[in-house]
Amino acid sequence: MNSRAGFESEYPFASNYLDLDGARYHYLDEGTGETLLFVHGNPTWSFAWRNLIKDLSADYRCVAVDHVGCGFSDKPQDYPYTLDQHVTNLTRLIDTLDLNNTTLIAHDWGGAIGMGAATRLPERFSRFVLMNTAAFRSTSIPLRIAICRIPIFGTLAIRGMNAFARAAISMAVEKHERMTRAVRAGFLAPYGNWADRIATLRFVEDIPLKKQHPSYGTLKQIEEGLQQFREYPVLFPWGEKDWCFTPQFLEEFLNFFPDAETLRIPEAGHYVFEDAHEKLIPRIREFLAAHPLKTVGV
């Protein structure tokens, strides 16, 4: 279980686990210093952050989670794979590890989940780096994802054929030469069979487009909670060739955070951490250095 065969050098990190009422929650905890909390989306896992962690862990404590159902975390078949549950799981990890002055670094669903944790534990967060993501309500959904929400068809495609994860390693990147055999193996490793793809499907089903959706209220609360971080340091790196979280989502974010910094990357797609990690890393370092944490009591 949790084999790294074929991508050992890409993901040379020690595994850690938190027991969440019987479900093992996998996370990385590399380096020391100020805490950077990495939160992934669907259908990725902590593997997506490997290049950033390899570099940044030299000077920072890098904690990267795998949501339940993803990566090396357990994949229970009867589980509430909802936005609220993912936020609750993340807050429990933050409390357990007693993370403070945390900088959130999030992508895709990780934006909503990470900002959900921040709105529940605002005293534990200090800065935000949000890329190709959303943490507010939207009625926009790409046709490619909408198709995956079709009953029966979506289940067979995602769980039977692993269509979502397999398509992503092609459709979500612009620099296909970077998707080497080892990188492809890493992205696909946790999702090798029907049972292991449960969360990949549930994430797609959990997109709350209408008020009647079970996660609509949770997302609304997160959206309303963004206001309290308006004056916080925020950086938006954005792959502008993303067909899912298009640049329009960045513009919407800037309505919430008008003073935020941006790093627009015209040649990068949704997996901006693959297409442009050599631009992300120095810009994140620059951002962190430009916004030092306030010393307690000062």
pTM: 0.95
User: pLDDT per residue over 35-72, tens digit each?
Assistant: 999 999 999 999 999 999 999 999 999 999 999 999 99
**pLDDT value, residue 66:** 98
Sign of the Cα torsion 170, 172, 175, 177 reads: negative
**Rounded to an integer, what distance in angstroms lies between the CA atom of residue 211 and that of residue 218?**
11
Q: What 3 state SS string does the chain have? A: CCCCCCCCCCCCCCCEEEEECCEEEEEEEECCCCEEEEECCCCCCHHHHHHHHHHHCCCCEEEEECCCCCCCCCCCCCCCCCHHHHHHHHHHHHHHHCCCCEEEEEEEHHHHHHHHHHHHCHHHEEEEEEEEECCCCCCCCCHHHHHHCCCCHHHHHHHHHCHHHHHHHHHCCCCHHHCCHHHHHHHHHHHCCCHHHHHHHHHHHCCCCCCCCCCHHHHHHHHHHHHHHCCCCEEEEEECCCCCCCHHHHHHHHHHCCCCEEEEECCCCCCHHHHCHHHHHHHHHHHHHHCCCCCCCC
For 111-125, 131-145, 150-164, which range has the lowest pLDDT when averaged over its residues? Answer: 150-164
Question: What CATH number does domain 8-290 carry, 3.40.50.1820, 3.40.640.10, 3.40.630.190, 3.40.190.10?
Answer: 3.40.50.1820
User: pLDDT per residue over 98-133, tens digit each?
Assistant: 999 999 999 999 999 999 999 999 999 999 999 999
